[in-house]
Amino acid sequence: MIKKRNVFRLTVSHYKILQTIDELNKKNLYPTARGVNNILMGKRDNETKKYVDLKTYGTLISFPGRKLCSYILNMTRRDYLGYIYDKKSDAMYLRITEKGEGELLHYEKRHKNSYRRKEPHHKPEIVEIK
């Protein structure tokens, strides 16, 4: 019996991550995994309020941070993403590679890239029922 090798396929979530990093990199901005997560989750704070205009802002609101880190690690291992070092902060930040840009361009040609922004569902904790 021949075992099939696991084939890595990019999902819509992978493309949203690539799109976010690509848009930031084009503005000479380089995020951490947490920064990407905050943008995709639509977090509104002093740092992320500047990025509300990104196509992917708030499009993965129910995506756990650990899963996102796993996706980023897999894409780094497969050379879709890489790291860039910042001397000032003494830290590594994410950048999209040529392979990642090519894959993203190919995806955008096939899809209209209309990511829907999602709003978190807020249910009240205390309600009056008569």
Question: What is the model's pLDDT at position 94?
Answer: 95
* Cα 60 from Cα 43, distance rounded (Å): 11
Question: What is the model's pLDDT at position 128?
Answer: 57
Asked whether residue 115 carries a pLDDT value surpassing 80, the answer given is: no
Write the single-letter amino acid at 123.
K
Question: What is the model's pLDDT at position 3?
Answer: 64
Question: What is the model's pLDDT at position 119?
Answer: 65
Question: What is the model's pLDDT at position 110?
Answer: 87
HSE-up of residue 129 (Cα within 13 Å, Cβ side): 4
Q: How many CB atoms lie within 10 A of CB 113?
A: 14
* φ and ψ of 85, to 5 deg: -95, 135
Question: What is the model's pLDDT at position 99?
Answer: 96
Q: Pick the closest to residue 13 from 98, 93, 130, 107 (CA basis).
A: 107
Helix-strand-coil percent breakdown of the chain, rounded to 5? 40, 10, 50
Stated pTM of the model: 0.83
Question: What is the model's pLDDT at position 103?
Answer: 94
pLDDT confidence bin for 127, thresholds 50/70/90: low
Average pLDDT, the chain: 86
What tens digit of pLDDT does each residue of 20-67 get?
999 999 999 999 999 999 999 988 888 888 999 999 998 888 778 789
DSSP H stretches of helix in 2-123: 12-26, 33-41, 65-77, 98-110
Rounded to a whole number of angstroms, the CA Rg of the chain reads 17
- Taken in order of first residue, the domains within the chain and their CATH numbers are 12-110 (1.10.10.10)
